[in-house]
Structure 1
Amino acid sequence: MTRRIVLWRHGRTEWNATGRFQGQTDVELDESGRQQARDSAARLASLEPDLLVSSDLKRTRDTTAVLAALVGVEVELDTRLRETYAGEWQGCTSNEIAERWPDEYRAWRSGDPLLRVGGGETRQEVADRVVAAVNDAAKRLPNDGLAVLTSHGGAARLGIASLIGMPLKLFTNIGGLSNCSWSMLREGEDGWILVEHNAGTLPTPVAIEEG
């Protein structure tokens, strides 16, 4: 078995629920997000991760802490796993952004990897730092090891696209990660292979009577 990386999105926040662009604003998990963390951590614990690395923002730290308590692995913080710094867009809804910055919003929706989102980071810059964090974590794993890296929806998708060689302009062809869902990448001979995406969103099984 080769080395594997899980990119795990944090649980829900109030801003997620109300459709606000969080970026690097340090918003806490809401009660739904805390329950999501408990549910998904119980599943991820079965993978017996060797390494836990989290963005330093509170919503990711608190999500990762639930898994750490189950597996007994210390959490390391890495600012490279933060969400895109979105400048003036942070705290705004999509409708507000489209109204106040129509040209930039259209460029953002088109996938422009060099647009400075809200005057902040470009998608290329975010992808580069997430890739660096993934590769640094992978180097520290045994040959069959697994690391869970807790990040954010946009940053994780950009990192995945870059890791598998997808042009960043097309990164939205990778579906969005739901809160507390994850993607798994496996190290191959020619780079990283996406083997699971948006895992953790299966519906609750229907109870079936036996006999």
Structure 2
Amino acid sequence: MNGAGSGRGRRVVLWRHGQTAWNLERRFQGTTDIELTEEGHAQARRSARLLAALQPDAIIASDLRRAAVTAGELASITQLDVEHDPGLRETYAGSWQGLTHEEIVERYGEQYAAWKRGEPVRRGGGELETEVAERAAPVVERAVDKLPDGGTLVVVSHGGTIRTTIGRFLGLEPHSWEALGGLSNCSWSVLGEGARGWRLLEHNAGTLPEPVLGDDD
């Protein structure tokens, strides 16, 4: 992902979906299709007004409702169509899905600790983080390839998927992806294309700092 080629100066805005009830409960969502809360809808509307000022050229989104509805708020302002792609879904986490953070630590303590150490772990028997990157990053790459020079792409996805995609674009080793930290609901990160590849220009940006709830979902 070296960003080399004729299309200099493109930007990728990776925007996490709005709040859900499971985020508030610190319950691992994964690929479970959970709706936004009223506050989640409000977050999406507020953030969409800010992101519209970047004059995006294209919007792509996970097809899970929490991301698709968030993307729809930006689409309604910009009059852009949203391309939905299941490759942008959150990490599938098998038996972890639906459990609270505390329940995961209690039932899968060794697996959780190994994951936090940066070891490749199939959480709950699900996907490896590298597998998430392998399905999500190419979706973003294909959309970037369609941008004009200096163009901006907005990607509406999930905390874990966004982190792995950023890691892949920056060429970071998978064990260090956790160092990127989490995204608050409806906050975003920005990748910019330069002469030597992609750079992280902003991370977990938004209007005001908010707590990170249920990062990998």
TM-score category, normalised to shorter length: over 0.9
Counterpart-to-counterpart distance in 2, 1:196 and 1:98? 31
Counterpart-to-counterpart distance in 1, 2:124 and 2:88? 19
Q: 1:7, 1:148 within 8 Å by CA — same for their partners in 2?
A: yes
Instruction: Pick the aligned partner of 1:9 from 16, 38, 42.
Output: 16
Verify: 1:177 aligned to 2:183, yes or no.
yes
Which residue of the partner structure matches residue 207 of structure 1? none
Q: 1:161, 1:167 within 8 Å by CA — same for their partners in 2?
A: yes
Counterpart-to-counterpart distance in 2, 1:23 and 1:64? 18
Instruction: Pick the aligned partner of 2:197 from 191, 194, 198.
Output: 191
> Cα offset for 1:24?
0.4
Counterpart-to-counterpart distance in 2, 1:101 and 1:199? 32
Counterpart-to-counterpart distance in 2, 1:54 and 1:103? 33
Counterpart residue type for residue 76 of structure 2: A
Say which SS state the counterpart of residue 53 (structure 2) adopts.
Answer: helix
Which structure has more RCO (C-alpha within 8 Å, separation ≥ 6)? 2
Verify: 1:86 aligned to 2:93, yes or no.
yes
Say which SS state the counterpart of residue 47 (structure 1) adopts.
Answer: coil
User: RMSD of the TM alignment (CA)?
Assistant: 1.1
The gaps in structure 1 that reach 5 residues or longer are 204-211
Runs of 4+ with >6 A deviation: none
Counterpart-to-counterpart distance in 2, 1:196 and 1:46? 16
The gaps in structure 2 that reach 5 residues or longer are 1-7, 210-217
> Cα offset for 1:189?
2.4
Q: 1:178, 1:201 within 8 Å by CA — same for their partners in 2?
A: no
Counterpart residue type for residue 187 of structure 1: E
CA distances 1:21-62 after superposition (whole Å, capped 9, x unpaired): 000000000011000001000000011111010000000000
Which residue of the partner structure matches residue 99 of structure 1? 106
Which residue of the partner structure matches residue 202 of structure 1? 208
Instruction: Pick the aligned partner of 1:123 from 102, 105, 129.
Output: 129
Counterpart-to-counterpart distance in 1, 2:155 and 2:123? 24
CA distances 1:53-97 after superposition (whole Å, capped 9, x unpaired): 000000000000000000000010011111000000000012111
Counterpart-to-counterpart distance in 2, 1:179 and 1:4? 21
Counterpart-to-counterpart distance in 1, 2:162 and 2:126? 18
Counterpart-to-counterpart distance in 2, 1:50 and 1:109? 36
